[in-house]
Amino acid sequence: MKKRAEDKNIQNWVDFWKSSKGVFDNKSDNEQAEFWDIRWGITGSGISKHAKPVRKKKSMNEIFEMLEQAGFKIRGSSILDIGSGPGSAAIPFAEAGARVTALDISSTALDRLKRYADKKGLDRDTITSSWWTAEIGKLG
């Protein structure tokens, strides 16, 4: 039963991403990676600098509350953060005790995430890949 629910969740995400349309629909993985590497190379030096720290913490606390209300235990869980950027969600999940795998097309963003996680002594894995070509089922 649990496997069926996991398969359904994966399919829901696949359907969501396929239905989304955006700026990158006609861009190759290399073009997208270049765009994001440039962007993350010129914005702040830590994890997401776009939001105020209090606002980021409040948003993550709301996400944690929602997950806990649904019966999900963060500590000890495995989290796959697709499109992680420099770690706006991955870092708080790791700080809360989750085993985090961060997937992003931008090696620059993942380098920032690694530096921040290492500085904090947080366990994390990173994968440089497009979410369109990542083999999600093999990532856990």
- Which CATH number belongs to the domain containing residue 91 in this structure? 3.40.50.150
Query: Could you tell me the maximum CA-CA distance found in the chain, to the nearest angstrom?
Result: 46
Its pTM surpasses 0.85: no
Is 100 part of a structural domain of the chain?
Answer: yes
Domain membership of residue 19 (yes or no) is no
Rounded to whole angstroms, the Cα distance separating 115 from 42 reads 16
Domain range for 95:
74-132
Residues 86 and 111 sit within 8 Å (Cβ to Cβ)? no
3-state SS assignment for residue 103? strand
How many domains does the chain contain in total? 1
Per-residue confidence at 23, pLDDT binned at 50, 70, 90? low
C-alpha triplet 44, 81, 88: angle, nearest 5°: 25
Q: How confident is the model at residue 126 (pLDDT cuts 50, 70, 90)?
A: very high
